[in-house]
Structure 1
Amino acid sequence: MALCSFECLLASFLVLVVVCAKAGLGTTVGCIERERQALLRFKHGLVDDYGILSSWDTRDCCQWRGVRCSNQSGHIIMLHLSAPPTEYVFEYKSLRGEISPSLLDPIPPFLASLTKIQHLNLSYANFAGRLPSQLGNLSNLLSLDLSYNYGLHSGNLECLSHLTSLRHLDLNSVDLSKAIHWSQAINKLPSLIHLKLGSRGLPPLTTPSLSPVNSSAPLAFLDLSYNDFDLTSSVYPWLFNFTTTLVHLDLSSNVDLNGSIPDAFGNMISLADLDISGNQLQGSIPDIFGNMASLERLDLSKNKLEGEIPKSLSNLCRLQELNLRINNLSGPLPQVLDLLACANDTLEILYLSYNQLRGSIPDLIGFSSLRLLDLGDNRLNGTLPTSIGHLTKLQWLVIGSNSLQGNISEAHFLHLSQLYYLDLSSNSLTFNMSCEWVPPFYWLRTQKKLRYLHMSTSNISDVIPHWFWNLTSLIYFFNISNNQITGTLPNLSSKFDQPLYIDMSSNYLEGSISELPSVLGLLDLSNNKFSGSIALLCTIANTYLVYLDLSNNSLSGELPNCWPQWKSLIVLNLENNQFSGNIPKSFGSLQSIQTLHLRNNNFIGELPSSLKKCKSLSFIDLAKNRLSGKIPPWIGGNLPNLMVLNLRSNKFSGSICSELCQLKKIQILDLSSNNLSGTIPRCLSNFTAMTKKGSLTITYNFSLHNQLGDFEDQSYVDRELVKWKGREFEYKNTLGLVKSIDLSSNKLTGEIPKEVTDLLELVSLNFSRNSLIGSIPTTIGQLKSLDVLDLSQNQLIGEIPASLSEIDRLSTLDLSNNNLSGKIPQGTQLQSFNTSSYEGNPTLCGPPLLKKCPGDKAEGTPKAYSYEDDIQQNGNDMWFYVSIALGFIVGFWGVCGTLLLNNSWRYAYFQFLNKIKDWLYVTTTINMARLWRTLQS
């Protein structure tokens, strides 16, 4: 029976730790022959590119690399083949191939002969296949670790129920989705202390599984993270059997964990670590958390919790870490920090970002143990207190995306010698550092521990200093975007040796792009003044570059041909430059790419057929180039995820192939301003996404390595220029709602296919400037979401369909320069448009056109001119103007002051007012009498 196979990608290692009950002392004994043969058969199935097993050719296997034997029995007690890393942190020398069944099949002569085995660790080995039932024979096991073998699965954990001495069981990432009676097997392990069942979709518990676990089980550590079952109905009752023993509980990232937090958590008085982050929990944070006085770590992040933080948290005096980020919590920040005052000597990590907290940042000098403070993306205002500078242990400071203002001075950084992550972005802070100040750690200039620097949108207006690039070779992220920084890029190829993410977009940097670090994972230099070739980009020679944005510069020349080395690239934006030549065929190697922006350059030639290999593409914008040839059919057949296709203002010719109708996810199709001919395909109704409401944004998610070897989730929200009402508008946060077809300014013929009216969520339809004939489909009124309709400058005939007047959202309409006839349908919508929307149709009639339709009734005789009415109107007008004049005169303080001081002027003024009063009285009396006579007649 073949047990498993594995393919090592980033890291590949197999660890088998066997510790006998009694190590013993004595003379060294050579290895046992049957175990030596088992290892040789194991080696035979592997490909050893790096010579890791080169020593495995002597008689005594106990001397082989990675092998350890018992001095007493000669049995192998350890097999450790971890792969040493190369010069890059995430790149390992590795074994690959198949693992021979000789290691475990049959259990004799290898593992079954080790009857005293107590600890078995096969984690990270990339095992595949079914969990071997023979493991149940190892009855003396105290610890079993099979975690992170993603190919390993089991439909039954019953074999493990025989391991009655087992204390530690780790099956994280083992596929247990079919192990429906998993809890019953766990219940039979009375000695179990440490249990990990995370990451692979445990099934819901059946009713018999809810029976209480063996009361003698002292379970202290439980990890059920990253499963998809409904904990509320199935696992909570089983879980709360451990209220007096559990110290660590991880229920994070269970997508079906919703509703409010149950009060039963308050009974878990022994809990020191509780993680229920990344779920769908709602409501407020319950007061019961105040009962868990032993809590040292509480993580409620990434939920939907709201309301103020309860006062009961003031009881958590042992708290070392509190993570409440990414919720909708509210209340004043000073009040929140007052609640944590009990733990001010122990609190080390405080995450409160991405909430609705308000107020100013209070004095933090009492929190002397703080290592991480994250207050970003709230509604904080006021200034940054200088007491921040006295948090001597602070390593991580995030206050970005608030409304803070005031000066940042050397006092804020006076004692922060441990700082390595700094985010002050998107506030109204001003840096006011004296030129003479040399801080104890030289702040940025000679900082040796800085790893993360985020100072975007910080009103920095300066030349980037030459020493900035010598900050540290250990930095992995810096963002100084959206400032007014000037300067050039030096040669950075030798400055950094760890995965690196650089965002310097939206500044005034200029010059050419020089050699860059080979370890770049993200590079954003968009919206600057860079010029010249980008050939030196090829120095980024790694497989984890995921994001490259050089848009809105003055870069030129042909694109280099090193795209195959960036197989992980997801975002590529080179738009609004002066690139020329053909689109490289090697683009086809970008098999992870999801969005491709090349608009407004000088690319020529046909689209390379290699792009059909990029099946993850969902966004293509090649507008405003000089591309030619036919629109290739493989776009429809090979790019099933395409949501945006913009080829406008090129030189494409030929007909629109019916294969494009296979783009079921397409939301924006712009083929305007080309040389396309033939008819419009009738299969446009296959654009399924245009029949349904979409999400607000078009977003791509990706992960970046950080300095600690973990992944940080990032997202990119796409944007697009859409021609709308004669102008181009950029859509980003509402791009997903835009459903648009633009085939204007081509040479299309034939009729408008009525099938297009089946696209019920279409927002913009533009078929103008073609040679279309026939009539407007009578079902056009089905498009209730239509905002823009342009069918101008064609050869359309017939009447305007009455159903068009039923589209109440229509704000732009152009039917001009056709051969439409008859009366414009009645309805406030169509009559509200300017006459230019209908001009150029000689036989069209009715409002808003002045041309009457045959059979229209003549309008009534105009009312006769009345001299008395004219006098009355003049009197009313005079009254209006006199009132304005009087208000101005009376309110003008200068005049009033003069009248108070000058007797003769004051006398004349009051005489004038008397005359005005008399004139008004006479005028009013005459007009009232005239009006009375008019009413009587």
Structure 2
Amino acid sequence: MLVVVCAKVGLGTTVGCVERERQALLRFKRGLVDDYGILSSWDTRDYCQWRGVRCSNQSGHIILLHLPAHWSENTDDFQSLRGRPIPPFLASLTKIQHLSLSNANFSGRLPSQLGNLSNLLSLDLNLNFNLHFENLEWLSHLTSLRHLDLNSVDLSKAIHWSQAINKLPSLIHLNLGSCGLPPLTTPSLSPVNSSAPLAFLDLSSNDFDLTSSIYPWLFNFTTTLVHLDLSSNGDLNGSIPDAFRNMISLADLDISWNQLQGSIPDIFGNMASLERLDLSENKLEGEIPKSLSNLCRLQELDLGINNLSGQLPQVLDLLACANDTLEILVLSYNQLRGSIPDLSGFSSLRSLYLGYNQLNGTLPTSIGHLTKLLELDITSNKLQGNISEAHLLHLSELEILHLSSNSLTFNMSFEWVPPFQLDSLELTSCKLGPRFPCWLRTQKKLRYLDMSTSNISDVIPHWFWNLTSRIYTFNISNNQITGTLPNLSSKFDQPLYIDTSSNYLEGSISDLPSVLGRLDLSNNKFSGSIASLCTVANTYLVYLDLSNNSLSGELPNCWPQWKSLTVLNLENNQFSGNIPKSFGSLQSIQTLHLRNNNFIGELPSSLKKCKSLSFIDLAKNRLSGKIPPWIGGNLPNLMVLNLQSNKFSGSICSELCQLKKIQILDLSSNNLSGTIPRCLSNFTAMTKKGNLTIAYNYFLNYKFGATYGLISYVDRELVKWKGRELEYKNTLGLVKSIDLSSNKLIGEIPKEVTDLLELVSLNFSINNLTGSIPTTIGQLTSLDILDLSQNQLIGEIPASLSEIDRLSTLNLSNNNLSGKIPRGTQLQSFDTSSYEGNPTLCGPPLLKKCPGDKAKGAPNAYSYEDDIQQNGNDMWFYVSIALGFIVGFWGVCGTLLLNNSWRYAYFRFLNKIKDWLNVTTTINMARLWRTLQS
């Protein structure tokens, strides 16, 4: 006989537990994958004591089932119940009032039988990303439901979701954020029949056409809503509708991260209850309306990342009504002007963000009286002057101080001790030097430090490395810092970003922390091997830049331990030996820069495993062998391939034509032979317009434990351009180039190359190419550089070449071209060196005239003598101008020099004119001043 432990009621009274509900829970447990033992307590008789279960003290029925995921201290993952549908027999818990399965990783369709739980007051399924509903009709049976949270559940097929919501008369709290809601085809305009009206509504991150479908339904709740979140709906555009003026109960309104346009309307002045208003990340413009002066309860105002204009002092005057309540003010990334006024009246201010505007003047010392201030950001303005102790005197709560990219000079005494302990400090481009600021040594809680480009020319003091117990990012780049790096292997215990680039640091690279996420030591004077890198024994390193040093030796073989490495730059050093085969384990790598070293041997075939590679620059080494076919067959994302100045031999394999995304191909200065493949027209990125990428900006994620970081990296490449090597970075995406020069290529120029309509630079010079220039060369209308010199090309220059009006560099010299250079403003504008070395080529700009140029009777026939005659006419024209100037100038000045009385009269006249102007200006300014005063 089954014995059921009972729940006690009141003073010793007991009631029988519901065995049917206990069995339902056990069946529920058997249907789940419980990797972390979340339900390990579900094996006793008294299910009311089980984890996540709560029973009624009166009836013994289950009234609450709460099984959310949570973080484990011993793992990097959420502990969750995964991979199974929600069991239908949960519907048998008919007395349950609160059901919470948030973040439990359930999948599949939600059982419609949950509609039988008619006693439910709250249902929380949020963050079950693999759950989906095709309709919400079952919700209409939950007439007691007051709280519904379906955040991140897939509702993309629930086209009648609004009708189902309208049938919940008691609903107060509704969260449908990130549900992929479909647009409402027939919006409901009738009032919702609810005895407890909707007060909380979250429709954020749905990305559907809210403008045409949601507003009519939304404005049914104008008098009841207290919290409304419409943020991150990319299609929410147009102006802010007037109907918002009726939402007089709103205390929290978030319409950020949308496409809203126009000015901020006056309607917000009607919302006297507003405590939080977020309109950030839109396209709003114009001045901030005066109606905001009515928002006397405002605690948070975020208007950042728009295009708002006006004077900052006037904006702050509008907010004076809320100066005792305003805690967060974000106006960054706009076009605000003027100086920063006295802010001491905003006594409750905790966060002030004014960065990325056009503010000028100095930072007032009154900022130091905001005693509750936690965050101060005025980055990227036009502020100047000194920052003294008075500016920071009473900011004992300050945690974030960002003053970068202004013209500010820190002027602190040697003994100054700040009243705060900062978490984040950004002082890029501030003048801190020449010494390291001593007050920095007092900051024991720093996690983010940026002192780049701050005029420091000092040795890194020993105490600097003691600041790092909690730090995850420090940047001291672009200074004149000297000295060496100490052993850092035991200094850090969390994910770390180190940037000491562009200084004068020297010596060897000592042992490094094992928790590196990014390391940039480029542009210093480091020397020796990099074997110490192997102490970075983790999978979190995503960025490694050691370029432009004097490092040497063979590369170590510990690359397999960096599974997340995305950017590797070792260029401009003295490394030698073979490229390690273990590079093939870098399966996340996108950028590989090894240029200008002493690497030898063939490319390791293991690189074909690195399918994410976009940039390969191996130029200026001593690599040999054939260019392997797997580059084309296995690296589909390759955009830049630079093998210039190596010892590669053999032919250019046709497999390279599979590089549809290639934009820069440089195989110049090798020993390549054979013909140019005819399949170059397969380079799709060079044939079609539509690639609007100008800079290749990567956002690299790194993770260590429960901490995540984001690193921004803009790729760059050296490109041979008009005889020089130029670095392209922010405009790299506009460069589309093929360079096969200085090889031993033979055969004709394939006409298919003229299908590369977006090509900007083409260089086939210093080869053994024969045949004629393709007649369709004029199709390359984007061409800026064309070099076909030092080949054995024959025939005439195609007339279509004169149609390329962007052409700025042309070299066809030292071939066997013949005939007349086609007439056109472009081709005649080049120097004769562009054509020399072609014995039978004639016509301007060459001095050699073509046969028949002097033929008589030919109307409009071009004559070289005509050009000479015209040049003679032009010469006499300029001589006439010079003579006229000389006669006119000296006719006046010479007379004044020779005739004293005339000279004195002339200068007396000038003095009278000057006196008259001075008197007239003084009288008029006085009149204007009296008018303004009156």
Scaled by the length of structure 2, what TM-score is found? 0.83
Note if contact 1:476-1:707 (Cα within 8 Å) is conserved in structure 2: no
Cα offset, 1:788, TM superposition: 0.4
Q: What is the distance in 1 between the residues matched to 2:933 and 2:345?
A: 88
Residues 793-814 of structure 1 show CA distances to partners (whole Å, capped at 9, x for unaligned) of: 1111111001101111110000
Q: What is the rounded CA distance, in whole Å, between the counterparts of 2:614 and 2:223 in structure 1?
A: 51
Separation of aligned partners in 1, 2:685 and 2:729? 18
Offset at 1:476? 3.4
SS at match of 2:281: coil
Q: Which stretch shows the higher mean deviation, 829-838 or 696-705?
A: 696-705
Distance in 2 (CA, whole Å) between partners of 1:693 and 1:427 is: 39
Q: Deviation string for 1:451-492 (max 9, x for gaps)?
A: 333333333333332222322533333333333333433333
1:182-212 CA-to-partner distances (Å, cap 9, x unmatched) read: 1111111121111121224211111155554
After superposition, the C-alpha distances for 1:890-928 in whole angstroms (9 at most, x for unaligned) are 999999999999999999999999999999999999999
Distance 1:154 1:107 in 2: 12
- Structure 2 unpaired stretches of 5+: 420-438
Output the CA distance in 2 between the equivalents of 1:813 and 1:847. Answer: 15
- Residue range with higher mean Cα deviation, 730-739 or 632-641: 632-641
Q: Which residue matches 2:442?
A: 446
**Partners in 2 of 1:923 and 1:349 — Cα distance?**
54
Contact kept? 2:189, 2:220, Cα under 8 Å: no
CA deviations on 1:28-49 (whole Å, 9 max, x unpaired) are 9999888777777777787777
Contact 1:198-1:224 at 8 Å conserved across structures = yes
Q: CA deviation at 1:698?
A: 5.0
Check conservation: 1:424, 1:455, Cα contact below 8 A. Answer: no
C-alpha change, 1:538 and 1:205, in structure 2 (3 Å) is farther
Which one of 82, 87, 106 corresponds to residue 68 of structure 2? Answer: 82
C-alpha change, 1:87 and 1:917, in structure 2 (3 Å) is closer
Provide the residue aligned with 2:901 in structure 1.
904
Q: How far off is 1:820 after superposition?
A: 0.8
Of 377-386 and 610-619, deviating more is 610-619
1:59 paired residue among 32, 45, 64? 45
- Check conservation: 1:19, 1:77, Cα contact below 8 A: no
Structure 1, residues 65-95: CA drift from partner, whole Å, max 9, x if none?
Answer: 7777777777777777777756689556777
8 A Cα contact 1:172 1:199, kept in partner = yes
Range that drifts further, 772-781 or 885-894 = 885-894
| CA-to-aligned-CA distance 1:278-330 (integer Å, 9 cap, x gap) | 22222222222222222222222222222222222222222222222222222
- State the distance in 2 between where 1:932 and 1:427 align: 36
* Count of aligned pairs: 912
* Distance (Å, rounded) in 2 between the aligned partners of 1:391 and 1:707: 36
- Conservation of the 8 A alpha-carbon contact between 1:181 and 1:209: no
Per the alignment, residue 71 of structure 1 pairs with: 57
Q: 2:430 maps to which residue?
A: none
Are 1:773 and 1:796, in contact at CA under 8 Å, matched by a contact in 2? Answer: yes
Give yes or no for contact 2:540–2:704 (8 Å, CA) kept in 1.
no
Q: CA deviation at 1:222?
A: 1.5
Query: Per-residue displacement from partner, 1:7-52 (whole Å, max 9, x unpaired)?
Result: xxxxxxxx99999999878699999888777777777787777777
Q: In structure 2, do the counterparts of structure 1 residues 883 and 373 end up closer, same or farther at CA, with 3 Å as the change threshold?
A: farther
What secondary structure does 1:645 align onto?
strand
Pair 1:27-2:13 in alignment: yes
Relative distance call for 1:434 and 1:602 in structure 2 (3 A) is same
Give the corresponding residue for 2:264.
Answer: 285
Deviation at 1:375, TM superposition (A): 2.0
Report the alpha carbon displacement of residue 752 of structure 1 after superposing the two structures with TM.
Answer: 0.9
**Residue deviations 1:729-750 (CA, integer Å, cap 9, x gap):** 1122221111111111122221
1:835 CA displacement: 0.9
Which deviates more from structure 2 when the two are superposed, residues 150-159 or residues 609-618?
A: 609-618
Rate the CA distance shift 1:362–1:86 in 2: closer, same or farther, 3 A. Answer: same
* Contact 1:20/1:116 (8 A) holds in 2: no
Q: 1:792 to 1:416 in 2, by over 3 A?
A: same
- Which residue of 621, 642, 655 corresponds with 2:651? 655
Q: CA deviation at 1:824?
A: 0.8
1:274–1:767 CA distance, 2 compared to 1 (3 A): same
1:351 maps onto 2:310 in alignment: no
Secondary structure of the equivalent of 1:839?
coil
Residues in 1 aligned to 2:928 and 2:144: alpha-carbon distance in whole angstroms? 110
What is the CA-CA distance between 1:858 and the residue it aligns to?
A: 8.4
The answer on whether the counterparts of 2:103 and 2:126 sit within 8 Å (CA) in structure 1 is yes
1:167 is displaced (CA, Å) by 1.5
Q: Secondary structure at the match of 2:553?
A: strand
Q: Does the CA-based 8 Å contact 1:19-1:118 persist in structure 2?
A: no
Measure, in 1, the Cα distance between the counterparts of 2:122 and 2:730: 51
The verdict on how the C-alpha distance between 1:529 and 1:207 changes in structure 2, with shifts beyond 3 A counting, is same
Q: Is the Cα contact below 8 Å between 1:425 and 1:457 reproduced in 2?
A: no
Query: Root-mean-square deviation (CA), in Å?
Result: 9.8
Q: Distance in 1 between matches of 2:279 and 2:606?
A: 46
CA distance in structure 2 between the aligned counterparts of 1:347 and 1:263, rounded to whole angstroms: 25
Measure, in 2, the Cα distance between the counterparts of 1:812 and 1:778.
Answer: 19
SS in 1 for 2:211: helix
1:133 matched residue in structure 2: 112
Contact 2:62/2:95 (<8 A) preserved: no
Q: Tell me the distance in 1 between the aligned counterparts of 2:241 and 2:2.
A: 41
Cα distance in 2 for residues equivalent to 1:373 and 1:148: 32
The alpha-carbon deviation at position 226 of structure 1 amounts to: 1.4
Post-superposition offset of 1:791: 0.7
Contact in 2 for aligned 1:16/1:80 (Cα 8 Å): no
2:171–2:196 CA contact under 8 A, matched in 1: yes
Which residue of 151, 158, 166 corresponds with 2:145? 166
Q: Say which SS state the counterpart of residue 472 (structure 1) adopts.
A: helix
Secondary structure of the residue aligned to 1:77 is: strand
1:425-450 deviations in Å (ceiling 9; x for gaps):
2222222221122334xx53222443
- SS of the residue corresponding to residue 653 of structure 1 reads strand
Identity of aligned residues (%): 90
Cα deviation, 1:79-119, whole Å, max 9, x if unaligned, reads 7777775668955677767xxxxxxxx99996334222121
- In the TM superposition, residue 873 of structure 1 has moved relative to its aligned partner by 20
1:817–1:703 Cα change, 3 Å:
closer
My pick for the range that moved more, 281-290 or 753-762, is: 281-290
**Worse-superposed segment, 718-727 or 413-422:** 413-422
Shift of 1:125: 1.5
SS at match of 1:714: strand
Give the stretch that moved more between structures: 563-572 or 216-225.
563-572
The DSSP-based 3-state class of the residue aligned with 2:356 is coil
Q: Aligned-pair distance for 1:243?
A: 1.2
Shift of 1:665: 2.0
Maintained 8 Å contact 1:697/1:733: no
Between the aligned partners of 2:588 and 2:245, the Cα distance in structure 1 is: 46
How far apart in 1 are the matches of 2:399 and 2:918?
84
Q: 1:626 to 1:691 in 2, by over 3 A?
A: same
8 Å contact kept, 2:6–2:60: no
- The separation in 1 between residues aligned to 2:561 and 2:868, in whole angstroms, is 88
Question: How many angstroms apart in 2 are the aligned matches of 1:638 and 1:137?
Answer: 55
Q: Does the C-alpha gap of structure 1 residues 830 and 544 become closer, same or farther in structure 2, counting only changes over 3 Å?
A: same
The separation in 2 between residues aligned to 1:43 and 1:70, in whole angstroms, is 21
* TM-fit CA distance, 1:597: 2.5
Distance 1:107 1:208, change over 3 A: same
Residue ranges of structure 1 left out of the alignment (5+ in a row): 1-14, 98-105
- CA gap of 1:914–1:632, structure 2 versus 1, over 3 A, is closer
Partners of 1:21 and 1:116 within 8 A in 2? no
Shift of 1:683: 1.5
Q: Deviations over 1:766-796 (max 9, x none)?
A: 1111111111000111111111001111111
Distance (whole Å) between structure 1 residues aligned to residue 41 and residue 310 of structure 2: 65
Contact 1:19-1:117 at 8 Å conserved across structures: no
CA offset at residue 131 of structure 1?
1.7
